[in-house]
């Protein structure tokens, strides 16, 4: 593990300790930072989406953070900066970007789907190519990562291109009730501005890691990755060729953050976070967990091992919901496939139940539903 990797791991550990119960969110932001890919945070208000990104930005010693809440009336000047009046008098149309997005090393755009047509094209280029273009003016952006957030998913088809620019989708929810006590204590400490030593990393050190990320050997997992992409496409999860290429960066980042120079099977855990709809979250988790569950490499990423022991009552409740939906009848072909995918996911979750009696009971219910589904074919 390189010195820079250790620095980044210390930074991520600090952010995790600051925001209890958000390890998955922080780890995914770390992966995006290494891969220089964009992250989308999805969840209700009050789940610390902006605070986590802001805290991560503070650890970049020489970096500039740009954070903005988009509305339907947001103008390009508010994001990219106004035209430079002095240069305008000289007949040059240049932007004064001081303190604005084009100079930031970490960018956070809240309520990203409020983006209007006036800024949409410029945003798409910034997110995809890390370039800012305005008239004849073109410049490369120093942004190490873009993060966007919203408590709703896009409904307007015009915003699908914007959503597509965020390779990783992070579901940010309220913390587990068992962790609430720790959250209250950590939150109180944060609001009290109690001084703690903040680990730091330089922008250039992150850029060096991003270059190192490109050298990670993906050959050990290439065949499994290829088959997984084809499997996901057959399941109905749309993965374009462009996204399939870029997803390799995330796998490489998972290996690098663990101090490895080559990828292993469990690095495919990142593919659980490429969903387009809420319904796909469980389906992806089921498929990817089945793919990586046999990997017991000692240097696996911590998130790859987060096949949390499920609550048997919750699993049983979900099975009953599927049974009721199936018994109701009049299901379209697509709705039937969704039930099958969710049932496969629950079958995988059931394998992790520790109590043998509960496990056997739920397995019988799942098998019974499968019999009904097969009879209907």
Q: What does the pLDDT look like over 127-151, one tens digit per residue?
A: 999 998 877 788 899 999 999 999 9
Q: Is residue 203 part of a domain?
A: no
Note whether 29 and 60 are same-domain residues.
yes
Cα–Cα distance list, 287 to 20, 67, 276 (Å): 28, 35, 15
Please check the confidence at residue 196 and state whether its pLDDT lies above 90: no
CB 18 within 8 A of CB 230: no
pLDDT band at 267 (very low <50, low <70, confident <90, very high): very high
Residue 197: pLDDT over 70: yes
Tell me the residue range of the domain where 258 lies: 215-305
Number of CB atoms found within 10 A of residue 207's CB: 15
Domain total in the chain: 3
Residue 258: pLDDT band (50, 70, 90) is very high
Residues 277 and 322 in one domain: no
Residues 241 and 321 in one domain: no
One domain, residues 56 and 182 = yes
pLDDT tops 80 at residue 310? no
Nearest CA to 52 among 21, 78, 94, 75?
21
Say if residue 228's pLDDT is above 60: yes
* pLDDT higher than 80, residue 244: yes
Domain annotation covers residue 241 = yes
What's the pLDDT band for 90 if we cut at 50, 70, 90? low
Q: Residue 307: its pLDDT value, please? A: 55
Q: What is the pLDDT of residues 282-301, one digit of tens each?
A: 889 888 988 898 787 888 99
Chain segment 32-41, per-residue pLDDT in tens: 999 999 999 9
Among 305, 338, 360, which residue terminates a domain?
305
Are residues 177 and 100 located together in one domain of the fold? Answer: yes
Do residues 187 and 220 both lie within one domain? no
Query: Is 13 domain-assigned?
Result: yes
Whether residue 19 is predicted with pLDDT greater than 70 in this model: the reply is yes
Do 323 and 299 lie in one domain? The reply is: no
230 and 351 share one domain: no
By 3-state DSSP, what share of the chain in percent is helix, strand and coil, each rounded to 5? 60, 10, 30
pTM of the model: 0.80
Tell me whether residue 46 is in a domain: yes
Q: Are residues 158 and 96 in the same domain?
A: yes
Using a pLDDT cut of 90, give the percent of the chain over it: 57
Mean pLDDT value across residues 50-67: 93
Out of 305, 320, 336, pick the residue that ends a domain: 305
Per-residue pLDDT at 272: 95
Report yes or no on 197 lying in a domain. no
Look at residue 202 and tell me if it is in a domain. Answer: no
Same domain, residue pair 231 and 282: yes
**Could you please report the per-residue DSSP string of 124-178?**
HHHHHHSEEEETTEEEE---SEEEEEESS---SGGGHHHHHT--EEEE--PPPGG
Of 260, 282, 305, the one marking the end of a domain is 305
Residue 159 is part of a domain; what is its CATH number? 3.40.50.300
Mean pLDDT value across the chain: 89
- Taking residues 339-363, report their average pLDDT: 83
In this predicted structure, the answer to whether residue 107 has a pLDDT above a threshold of 70 is: yes
Note whether 57 and 63 are within 8 A (CB).
yes
144 domain-assigned = yes
348 and 250 in one domain? no
Other residues' Cβ atoms within 10 Å of the Cβ of residue 241: 8
Same domain, 175 and 318: no
State residue 195's pLDDT score: 62
SS3 53: helix
pLDDT range class, residue 309, cuts 50, 70, 90: low
Burial of 377 per CB tally in 10 Å (0-12, 13-18, 19+): exposed
- Do the domain assignments include residue 120? yes
């Amino acid at each position: 593990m390189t010195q820079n990797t250790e620095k980044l791991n210390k930074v991520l550990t600090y952010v995790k300790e600051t925001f209890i119960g958000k390890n998955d969110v922080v780890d995914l932001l770390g992966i995006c930072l290494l891969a220089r890919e964009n992250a989308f945070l999805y969840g209700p208000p009050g789940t610390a989406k902006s605070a986590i990104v802001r805290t991560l930005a503070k650890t970049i010693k020489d970096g500039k953070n740009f954070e903005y809440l988009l509305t339907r009336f947001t103008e390009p000047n508010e994001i990219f900066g106004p035209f430079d009046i002095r240069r305008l008098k000289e007949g040059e149309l240049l932007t004064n970007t001081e303190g604005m997005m084009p100079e930031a090393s970490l960018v956070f755009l809240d309520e990203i789907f409020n983006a209007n047509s006036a800024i949409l094209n410029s945003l798409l280029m910034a997110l995809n190519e890390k370039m800012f273009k305005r008239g004849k003016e073109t410049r490369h952006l120093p942004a190490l990562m873009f993060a966007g957030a919203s408590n709703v998913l896009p409904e307007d088809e015009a915003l699908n291109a914007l959503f597509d620019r965020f390779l990783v989708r992070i579901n940010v929810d309220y913390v587990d009730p068992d962790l609430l006590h720790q959250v209250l204590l950590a939150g109180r400490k944060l609001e009290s501005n109690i001084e703690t030593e903040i680990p730091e990393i330089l922008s250039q050190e992150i850029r060096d890691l991003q270059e190192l990320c490109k050298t990670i050997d993906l050959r050990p997992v290439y065949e499994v990755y290829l088959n997984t992409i084809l499997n996901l496409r057959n399941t109905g999860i749309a993965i374009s060729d462009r996204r399939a290429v870029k997803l390799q960066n995330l796998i490489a980042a998972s290996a690098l953050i663990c101090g490895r120079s080559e990828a292993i099977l469990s690095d495919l855990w990142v593919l659980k976070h490429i969903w387009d709809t809420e319904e796909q979250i469980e389906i992806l988790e089921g498929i990817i967990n089945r793919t990586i569950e046999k990997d017991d490499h000692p240097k696996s990423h911590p998130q790859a091992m987060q096949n949390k022991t499920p609550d048997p009552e919750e699993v049983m409740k979900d099975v009953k919901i599927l049974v009721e939906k199936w018994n109701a009848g009049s299901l379209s072909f697509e709705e039937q496939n969704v039930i099958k995918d969710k049932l496969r996911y629950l079958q995988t979750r059931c394998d992790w139940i520790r109590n043998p009696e509960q496990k056997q009971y739920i397995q019988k219910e799942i098998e019974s539903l499968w019999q009904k589904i097969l009879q209907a074919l």
